[in-house]
Amino acid sequence: MKYGIVVNTGPYTHQASDTAYHFTAAALGKGHEVFRVFFYHDGVNNGTRLGVPPQDDRNLPEKWSSLAQQHDLDLVVCVAAAQRRGLLDADEAKRHGKDADNIAPGFRISGLGQLIEAGIEADRLVVFGD
């Protein structure tokens, strides 16, 4: 089965981000394909490299980055939602005159077309969060 995953909530505001991560890891572990993980609304906050959770807490952005590296996952952050929340890659930071970027390794910024494509290409589009 080929899955598309949508994550709509931030990494520490709702259980949905954890559940999305565990679902994705389990699907990959069972041999399923994950076409793309699309982070939308507050879900884009899963893609920041500047979060510093306590040492005894999970680091979801780091977990997503590691999973992406292990499985060549396409982690896409919605550009409009990211800009509203101050999440920028190097190109967006330069374009907007900012002096830094904060996107985590393995994530990329793109538009809603990537979400539409995931819905078309995947057998199932699974949405986590509102």
Q: Any idea which residues carry the catalytic annotation? A: 78
CA atoms of 61 and 11, how far apart (whole Å)? 8
CA atoms of 18 and 64, how far apart (whole Å)? 10
User: What single-letter amino acid sits at 76?
Assistant: V
CA atoms of 9 and 41, how far apart (whole Å)? 7
Q: What angle do CA 9, 112, 45 make, to 5 degrees?
A: 30
Nearest to 38 by CA among 105, 106, 118: 118
